[in-house]
């Protein structure tokens, strides 16, 4: 049966009437590729900041700018549930919740890191049982911790280091606090600044492999030495004690976030090329030869059962800012922290909806982007820099079995 044609203005008016009941704004997906009769958008602003002479659409966009949840698909409404409500856990006068977003299922915790404050970052632990926040007691300091991952009873952190301490990958026993340097060099050369981590256990294999990204964070933000290695994605095999670069600058200029799907046969990596060689973000595509994009790779095992990322393809482009904090849920949806907020795409790359940075951050411009978050069972923990939020979703999106060795 064919669907009758309905004007975008009528659809917008209908969506606005429905969304007025709560903090959800539904925007028909047709408006994402056709704004009538004329429009003007800006890459440094959000989609809903687009100006148009269509009064109904302008009213809809204005309402969306103040909404926490912006939906482009009924699938996003199912994901967040019928009555979503974000709970503010705490708000502080510093950017204490910025990166990592590591769910530790056995302890019912989320570990996260701050922005650089007084030349250092801090690690914090959120208890999902009572929503208390604590500082873990580690056997040695992790200098300027950034992204991280929980796998097989250990929490792993990527560390930028500083002028005195090399950047590295650390392992932490979350129960005892025992902390060890796992990786800190490649044949005596320092890494540029490990950014994010994931672990892979290939199907029908008993082996496990760590993949991590390395980019010039240490020298840019933490007084580290100038980069000597090319930025790359690396694979570490703890069984054979092998460290190998597997994705080069020819494929991704500045690799940032990294994640795998539940089936462990796809690898997703984000490119943060719009970071200038200074400290400011550039508009998309300006002054660089990369892209503020998400790329997908197939993970294919060689004859020895070792996974290689192959068949690179473009999965998505962030409209505003760079994609970061990537997670792939049990249904294959890809979540990223971007300039507009936490953006959710389905497995084909279609944007389903987003959690709006305009309402989640104290000041989107001053405090930095919404860079990371955690998926913990049926809960979303939002790291809003000066704010930390939690939301019970309408379904379980991340199962704990994914993090077992």
19-33, 248-262, 332-346, 382-396: range with lowest mean pLDDT: 19-33
- Please indicate, yes or no, whether residues 106 and 191 belong to a single structural domain of this protein: yes
What are the pLDDT digits (tens) for 198-220? 999 988 888 999 999 998 765 56
Residue 44 has pLDDT above 50, yes or no: yes
- Please indicate, yes or no, whether residues 49 and 147 belong to a single structural domain of this protein: no
- Please indicate, yes or no, whether residues 42 and 125 belong to a single structural domain of this protein: no
- Residues facing residue 158 across a β-bridge: 169
- Please indicate, yes or no, whether residues 206 and 126 belong to a single structural domain of this protein: yes
User: Is 112:97 a contact under the CB 8 Å cutoff?
Assistant: yes
Residue 131 has pLDDT above 50, yes or no: yes
> If you write DSSP's letter for every residue of 232-245 in order, what string do you get?
EEEEEETTTTEEEE
Residue 43 has pLDDT above 90, yes or no: no
Please give the Cα distance from 129 to 125 (Å, whole number): 12
Q: Which pLDDT band, with edges at 50, 70 and 90, does 335 fall under?
A: very high
- Please indicate, yes or no, whether residues 61 and 97 belong to a single structural domain of this protein: no
Residue 284 has pLDDT above 80, yes or no: no
Specify the number of domains making up the chain: 2
What are the backbone angles phi and psi of residue 401, rounded to the nearest 5°? Answer: -60, -20
Q: Which helix (H) or strand (E) holds 151?
A: strand 145-151
Please give the Cα distance from 271 to 324 (Å, whole number): 8
Q: Which pLDDT band, with edges at 50, 70 and 90, does 365 fall under?
A: low
Averaged pLDDT score across all residues of the chain: 87
> If you write DSSP's letter for every residue of 197-261 in order, what string do you get?
EEEE--TT-S--EEEEEE-THHHHHS-PPPP-SPPEEEEEETTTTEEEEEE-TTT-SSEEEEEE-
User: Is 328:316 a contact under the CB 8 Å cutoff?
Assistant: no
Please give the Cα distance from 21 to 405 (Å, whole number): 45
Any residues with CB less than 8 A from the CB of 235 and at least 6 apart, and which? 209, 210, 211, 243, 244, 245, 246, 306, 307
pLDDT of residue 1: 36
- Please indicate, yes or no, whether residues 245 and 103 belong to a single structural domain of this protein: yes
Residue 7 has pLDDT above 50, yes or no: no
Query: Average pLDDT in the 226-240 region?
Result: 91
User: Is 315:268 a contact under the CB 8 Å cutoff?
Assistant: yes
pLDDT of residue 11: 39
The domain of 127 spans 84-403
């Amino acid at each position: 049966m064919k669907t009758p044609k309905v004007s975008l203005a009528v659809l917008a008016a209908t969506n606005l009437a429905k969304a007025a009941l709560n903090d959800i704004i539904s925007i028909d997906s047709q408006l994402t590729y056709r704004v009538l009769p004329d429009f003007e958008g800006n890459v440094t602003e959000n989609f809903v900041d687009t100006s148009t002479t269509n009064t109904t659409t302008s009213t809809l966009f204005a309402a969306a700018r103040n909404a926490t949840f912006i939906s482009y698909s009924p699938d996003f409404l199912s994901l967040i549930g019928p009555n979503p409500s974000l709970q503010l856990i705490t708000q502080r006068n510093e950017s204490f919740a910025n990166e990592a977003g590591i769910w530790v299922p056995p302890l019912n915790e989320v570990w996260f890191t701050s922005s650089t404050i007084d030349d250092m970052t801090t690690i914090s632990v959120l208890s999902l049982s009572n929503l208390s926040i604590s500082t873990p007691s580690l056997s040695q300091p992790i200098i300027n911790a950034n992204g991280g991952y929980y796998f097989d009873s250990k929490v792993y952190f990527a560390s930028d280091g500083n002028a005195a301490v090399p950047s590295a990958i650390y392992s932490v026993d979350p129960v005892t606090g025992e902390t060890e340097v796992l990786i800190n060099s490649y044949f005596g050369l320092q890494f540029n600044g490990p950014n994010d981590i994931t672990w892979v256990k290939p199907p029908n294999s008993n082996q496990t492999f760590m993949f991590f990204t390395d980019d010039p964070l240490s020298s840019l933000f933490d007084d580290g030495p100038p980069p000597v290695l090319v930025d790359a994605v690396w694979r570490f095999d703890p069984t054979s004690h092998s460290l190998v670069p597997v994705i080069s600058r020819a494929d991704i200029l500045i690799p940032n976030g990294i994640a795998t799907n539940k089936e462990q046969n796809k690898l997703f990596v984000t490119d943060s090329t719009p970071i200038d060689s200074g400290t400011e973000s550039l508009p998309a595509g300006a002054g660089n030869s990369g892209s503020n994009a998400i790329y997908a790779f197939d993970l294919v095992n060689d004859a020895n059962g070792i996974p290689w990322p192959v068949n690179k393809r473009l999965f998505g482009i962030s409209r505003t800012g760079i994609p970061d904090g990537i997670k792939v849920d049990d249904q294959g949806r890809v979540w990223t922290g971007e300039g507009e907020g936490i953006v959710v795409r389905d497995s084909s790359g279609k944007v389903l909806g987003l959690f709006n940075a305009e309402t989640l951050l104290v000041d989107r411009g001053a405090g930095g982007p919404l860079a990371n978050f955690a998926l913990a069972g049926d809960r979303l923990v939002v790291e809003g820099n000066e704010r930390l939020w939690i939301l019970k979703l309408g379904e379980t999106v991340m199962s704990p079995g994914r993090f077992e060795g």
